[in-house]
Amino acid sequence: MKACDSLKAAGIGSFLLVCCLSASAYSDQEVSWAGFSFISQADQADSLYPFSTALEKPVLRPLLTKLVLYSEGSNKNITGQLMDAGSGSAKSLVVALDKERITSGKFGGYCRREYSLSAQVILYDGDSQSILSITPVGMRRPYIDHEESCSALKGDQVRDRFRFCQMYLGLETDQDFSASSFENKCLNISPNELGPGLLKEVAEAIATLEVIEKKNIRYTGIGQVNLRPEAVAILKGDRELGAHGFHNVNGEFDVDSYANWIGQSFSKSITNITGTPVVPLLKGKAIGGSIPLKFSDQVEVANLKLPQLDYSFDITVRGFKKVVLDETSAREAWAFGTYFSISFGLLDLHKPESLIKVKNAYVYEKARGDHVNDWQQFDYSSETVFRDFAENIGSVNQKWVKKNSNLERKNAKNWFRYIDGKLKDSR
Mapping DSSP onto H, E and C, the string for the chain reads CCHHHHHHHHCCCECCCCCCCCCCCCCCCCEEEEEEEEECCCCCHHHHCHHHHHHHHHHHHHHHHHHHHHCCCCCCCEECCCCCCCCCCCEEEEEEEEEEEEEEEEECCEEEEEEEEEEEEEEEECCCCEEEEEEEEEEEEEEEECCCCCCHHHCCHHHHHHHHHHHHHCCCCCCCCCHHHHHHHHHCCCHHHCCCCHHHHHHHHHHCCCCCCCCCCCCEEEEEEEECHHHHHHHCCCCCCCCCHHHEECCEECHHHHHHHHHHHHHHHHHHHHCCCCECCCCCCCECCEEEEECCCCCCEEEEECCCCCEEEEEEEEEEEEEEEEECCCEEEEEEEEEEEEEEEECCECCHHHEEEEEEEEEEEEECCCCCCHHHHHHHHHHHHHHHHHHHHHCCCHHHHHHHECCCHHHHHHHHHHHHHHHHHCC
Q: pLDDT by residue for the chain (427 residues), tens digit each? A: 334 333 333 333 333 333 333 434 444 577 887 878 899 987 888 988 999 999 998 998 889 878 888 888 887 877 777 655 545 567 787 888 988 988 877 776 778 788 999 888 887 888 888 888 787 888 889 888 887 677 666 678 888 999 999 999 999 876 677 888 888 899 999 999 999 999 988 787 677 655 454 555 788 999 999 999 999 999 998 887 888 877 776 667 889 989 999 999 999 999 889 988 888 888 888 877 899 998 877 777 889 998 889 999 999 999 999 999 998 888 999 999 999 999 999 988 888 878 999 999 999 998 887 777 888 899 999 999 999 999 999 899 999 999 999 999 889 999 999 999 999 888 7
| β-pair partners for 35 | 94
Q: What is the largest CA-CA distance in the chain?
A: 72
User: Rounded CA gap, 377 and 383, in Å?
Assistant: 10
CA neighbor of 134 nearest in space, from 13, 290, 302: 290
- At residue 62, the pLDDT reads 86
Alpha-carbon distance values, 109 to 20, 105, 262 (Å): 47, 11, 30
User: Rounded CA gap, 28 and 95, in Å?
Assistant: 21
- Hey, how many other C-beta atoms are within 10 angstroms of the C-beta on 396? 19
- At residue 4, the pLDDT reads 39
Question: Which domains are present in the chain?
Answer: 1-215 (no CATH), 220-278+310-427 (3.30.160)
